[in-house]
Amino acid sequence: MLNHGTLEDELREQNIYVEVLDETQLSSARIFVNLIKALKRSKPNIVHTHRSKENILGSLAAKIAGNITSLRTAHGAPEHRPSLSRPHKYVFFLLDWLTGRFIQKKIIAVSEDLKVILAKSYPPNQLEVIENGVDIDALAPYKKPQPLKNHHKKNHYKIGLVGRLVPVKRVDLFIRTAKHMQDHHPKLSIHFHIYGDGPLHNELTQLAHSLGVNHIIKLEGHCDDIHSQIASLDALLITSDHEGLPMTLLEAMALGTPVIAYAVGGITNVCQKGAYCWLVNQNTPELLSQKLYDCLSSEKQRQTIANMAVQQINQKYSTKNNANSYKAIYSKTLHKGGVS
């Protein structure tokens, strides 16, 4: 891993060996050298990477350390193709593509929609789809009790967004949705909570002030108990311009928290075109507000859809299903490469 944190702790709790090459302390060159040494020591059958920097360093180190089979999971489409006017960004983008195209054996998309996007850059026989999964047993203690919500104050609601404060997440739309709800449904007492941090924090804070909704918007920052926070929401909004298959969607559905989302990426398939969530086909504050109002207006409908969403996750999106799919890909990839 390149960072210390919660994931490291959880892995160690499962008696999984973890080595951290801390990118805050080491240059990319030092990480690369240490990674080659680590792979030569451990001699894995597979090196599996998940982000651009890790894709480049991991695949090249695997090749040098003994021609070790490597593959990657793509969790979302690139936000944009860098121009030649920013050569360092363009080289990084190009290296990520080159290592994926010519070194890594498989590229795994987390949704069919993402696979279609990746097919523009990679050959079809290199692409596979394995949808994300959640640990249903681990989420069970946080799950909403029945009924869905028992408010002490009538018409008081808590709405949330979970994600990094970066352009693709369109947190600005979340804030503008709050503004629209305040203007058009003033009788509803709604507070909007943003869980996550990132480079747009100050800009989003200023936006909330300029729209006059800073009193109902709270930027919570990084949150260690995110599952309990998601479970406490009356609805989760996903306003991203594009997604692969967001874990927050699966977690919210598993926890019984209603979801309002822009119908993009794997979201449409998981929600079965709106059977298990409230979906908008255009990412605007007006449409998001309308779906949010529809969601909040009928507690019975909210409960029914939330229950169906829980069943959908239990049946199709468990970590067990996800792990079995990866195991099959590993086996197939190694067999083709002549490794037993």
Model confidence over 232-267: pLDDT tens digits? 999 999 999 988 899 999 999 999 999 999 999 899
pLDDT of residue 79: 59
Query: Measured between alpha carbons, how far is 67 from 69 in angstroms, rounded to an integer?
Result: 6
Confidence of residue 145 (pLDDT cuts 50, 70, 90): low
Domains of the chain: 44-133+319-336 (3.40.50.2000), 136-316 (3.40.50.2000)
Dist. CA 132–CA 251, nearest whole Å: 11
Of all residues in the chain, the percent with pLDDT exceeding 70 is: 94
Q: How far apart, in whole angstroms, are the C-alpha atoms of residue 47 and residue 64? A: 12
CA dist., res. 174 & res. 193, Å (int): 10
Residues 57/38, Cβ–Cβ less than 8 Å: no
- Is 193 a residue whose pLDDT tops 90? yes
In degrees rounded to 5, what are phi and psi of residue 271?
-85, 0
Q: Check residues 37 and 299 and name the one with the higher pLDDT.
A: 37
Q: Answer whether residue 88 shows pLDDT above 90.
A: no
How many degrees, rounded to 5, is the angle at CA 249 between CA 181 and CA 242? 80
- The predicted pLDDT at position 315 comes to 92
pLDDT at 150 (0 to 100): 47
Query: pLDDT band for position 154 (50/70/90)?
Result: low
**Upper half-sphere CA count for residue 280 (Cβ side, 13 Å):** 25
Please give the pLDDT value at position 152.
42
Indicate if the pLDDT at residue 118 is higher than 50.
Answer: yes
